[in-house]
């Protein structure tokens, strides 16, 4: 089995349009959440979100490309370009045959669905653009990346709601570890922050109207974000032999199902996924310094997640930092695990642990060190990244410095 490392990263999200900007924002505890700016916002009862800032699609793509690139594909390709550039990889014919793309997304080309539903149902139009299908399909982003970089290896897209990115990255990790692929471009992309997307979420009554305050006693729910995070995975040996810069090493992954409730999380299911990920990584609980939590800011998740962490880490809790960067970049749903991986890399490589901002009040059910409000300098050994999705699908990654 090969060791697997990350040699490239890219992102676009509410905290920045690239990785350096995003990490600065995380370090400084900036909040990317603000009033939503899109059509029909006045018809929403939730009017806040973490939107990508200062982004104009025509700055990056021409008219022909835009007929095929939904916003979620745009985010993915921009992040992928950053990641491939950072990795320094050139995909010649031989390498391209064993290099693939594995992305996660929950809603795929939602903007395209919405625009065309509006045209057909609301405006009564009788024809839509011929490219609507290839534009909205969940695999559009992965296909576009594969085509742009000539990646002919195994590629697909996974969808497990809020755990999509962790599942994608975890599977990509396993593919490189087993030798099935030499290089994997992986991560996630989401653009559900539309009128319809927010309207759909409102009914569940789990969204906050003012802020995302994970673990805080006065937390009032989640806040949606948007964006993409893309990473290049390859074997440790390959990275070393070509003198690549290694950002972090992925050492373990586990996924399991609660088989319990369609939206409520399970302490047992979450705890088992964390334990199994540590076992897969062959890491002791005492070696974990930081957990990037799922930490959505809902009453249900945060309490359950803390209980799960307590049951796994027991006596080691006092040495453990847990933070939720969703407080800053929002919940990117299918892309959230990918953007959160950046916080994991920052912790390991830069020794900076991102804070949980918006923390105002202690909650007895979340009485852990949640790195409230300010980032912390720390020597970080191993890092765990949690994702616990609707329908009880859990996916946990473990990383350390190489």
Q: How far is the CB of 66 from another protein (least distance, A)?
A: 13
- Given the complex with another protein, which of 124 and 130 has the nearer CB atom? 130
* 21: contact with another protein by CB under 8 A: no
Decide if 75 contacts 187 (C-beta within 8 A). Answer: no
In the block, tokens 């990056």 appear at 60
* 150: contact with another protein by CB under 8 A: no
Judged by CB under 8 A, which stretch of 81-89, 123-131, 221-229, 314-322 contacts another protein? 123-131
Gap between the Cα atoms of 307 and 270, Å rounded: 9
x/- binding map, residues 71-110, to another protein, per CB under 8 A? ----------------------------------------
* 129: contact with another protein by CB under 8 A: yes
Among 18, 38, 61, 67, binds another protein (CB under 8 A): 67
- Given the complex with another protein, which of 63 and 205 has the nearer CB atom? 63
Verify whether residue 261 is a known catalytic residue: no
Q: How far is the CB of 306 from another protein (least distance, A)?
A: 51
* 54: contact with another protein by CB under 8 A: no
Beta-ladder partners of 234: 5, 183
Q: How far is the CB of 68 from another protein (least distance, A)?
A: 9
Among 38, 60, 131, 195, binds another protein (CB under 8 A): 131
Beta strands in 36-153 (DSSP E): 48-49, 99-104
Which of 31, 138, 143, 162 is an active site residue? 162
Q: How far is the CB of 2 from another protein (least distance, A)?
A: 39
Judged by CB under 8 A, which stretch of 113-121, 122-130, 244-252, 287-295 contacts another protein? 122-130
- Given the complex with another protein, which of 131 and 374 has the nearer CB atom? 131
Verify whether residue 294 is a known catalytic residue: yes
Closest CA to 140 of 189, 183, 194: 189
Closest CA to 149 of 89, 66, 62: 89
Beta-ladder partners of 351: none
CA angle, residues 280, 294, 312, in degrees to nearest 5: 45
* 61: contact with another protein by CB under 8 A: no
Q: How far is the CB of 63 from another protein (least distance, A)?
A: 9
Which of 294, 306, 344, 366 is an active site residue? 294
Beta-ladder partners of 291: 322, 384
Q: How far is the CB of 128 from another protein (least distance, A)?
A: 8
DSSP for 261-329? -SSS--HHHHHHHHHHHHHHHT--GGGEEEEE----S-HHHHHHHHHHHHHHHGGGGGG-EEE-THHHH
Gap between the Cα atoms of 245 and 213, Å rounded: 35
* 379: contact with another protein by CB under 8 A: no
Verify whether residue 162 is a known catalytic residue: yes
Judged by CB under 8 A, which stretch of 28-36, 125-133, 147-155, 221-229 contacts another protein? 125-133
- Given the complex with another protein, which of 131 and 156 has the nearer CB atom? 131
Decide if 70 contacts 109 (C-beta within 8 A). Answer: yes
Applying CB under 8 A, what is the total number of residues that bind another protein? 6
Beta strands in 37-182 (DSSP E): 48-49, 99-104, 156-158
* 127: contact with another protein by CB under 8 A: yes
Which of 143, 329, 331, 366 is an active site residue? 331
160 to 15, 23, 125, 165, 274: CA distances (angstroms) = 24, 26, 33, 8, 17
Q: How far is the CB of 127 from another protein (least distance, A)?
A: 6
296 to 169, 222, 277: CA distances (angstroms) = 20, 5, 21
Among 130, 243, 314, 315, binds another protein (CB under 8 A): 130
DSSP for 235-268? EHHHHHHTTPPP-EEEEEEEEEE--S-SSS--HH
Residues near another protein (CB under 8 A) are: 64, 67, 127, 129-131
> Which residues are annotated as catalytic?
162, 294, 331
């Amino acid at each position: 089995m090969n060791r697997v490392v990350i040699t490239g990263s890219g992102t676009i999200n509410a905290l920045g349009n690239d990785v350096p900007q995003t990490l600065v924002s995380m370090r400084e505890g900036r909040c990317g959440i603000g009033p939503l700016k899109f059509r029909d916002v006045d018809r929403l009862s939730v009017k806040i979100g973490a939107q990508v800032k200062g982004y104009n699609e025509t700055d990056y793509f021409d008219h022909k490309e835009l007929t095929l690139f939904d916003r979620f594909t745009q985010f993915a390709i921009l992040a992928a370009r950053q990641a491939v550039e950072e990795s320094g990889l050139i995909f010649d014919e031989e390498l391209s045959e064993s290099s693939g793309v594995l992305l996660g997304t929950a809603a795929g080309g939602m903007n395209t669905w919405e625009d065309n539903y509006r045209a057909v149902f609301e405006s009564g139009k009788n024809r839509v653009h011929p490219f609507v299908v290839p534009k909205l399909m969940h695999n559009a982003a992965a296909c576009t990346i594969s085509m742009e970089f000539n990646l002919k290896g195994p590629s697909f897209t996974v969808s497990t709601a809020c755990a999509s990115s962790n599942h994608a990255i975890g599977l990509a990790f396993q593919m490189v570890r087993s030798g099935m692929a030499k290089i994997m471009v992986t991560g996630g992309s989401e653009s559900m922050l539309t009128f319809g997307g927010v309207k759909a979420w409102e009914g569940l009554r789990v969204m906050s109207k003012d802020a995302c305050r994970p673990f805080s006693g006065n937390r009032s729910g989640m806040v949606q974000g948007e964006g993409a995070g893309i990473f290049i995975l390859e074997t440790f040996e390959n990275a070393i032999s070509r003198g690549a810069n290694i950002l972090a090493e992925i050492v373990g992954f586990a996924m399991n199902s609660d088989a319990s409730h369609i939206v409520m999380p399970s302490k047992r299911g979450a705890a088992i996924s964390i334990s199994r990920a540590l076992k897969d990584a062959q890491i002791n609980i005492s070696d974990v310094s930081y957990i990037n939590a799922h930490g959505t800011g809902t009453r249900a998740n945060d309490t359950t997640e803390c209980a799960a962490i307590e049951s796994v880490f027991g006596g080691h809790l006092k040495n453990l930092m847990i933070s939720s960067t969703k407080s800053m970049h929002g919940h990117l749903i299918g892309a959230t695990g990918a953007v959160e991986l950046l916080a994991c890399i920052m912790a390991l490589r830069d020794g900076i642990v991102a804070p949980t901002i918006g923390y105002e009040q202690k909650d007895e059910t979340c009485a852990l060190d949640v790195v409230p409000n300010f980032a912390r300098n720390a020597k970080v050994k191993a890092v765990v990244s949690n994702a616990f999705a609707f329908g009880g699908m859990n996916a946990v990654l473990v990383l350390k410095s190489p």
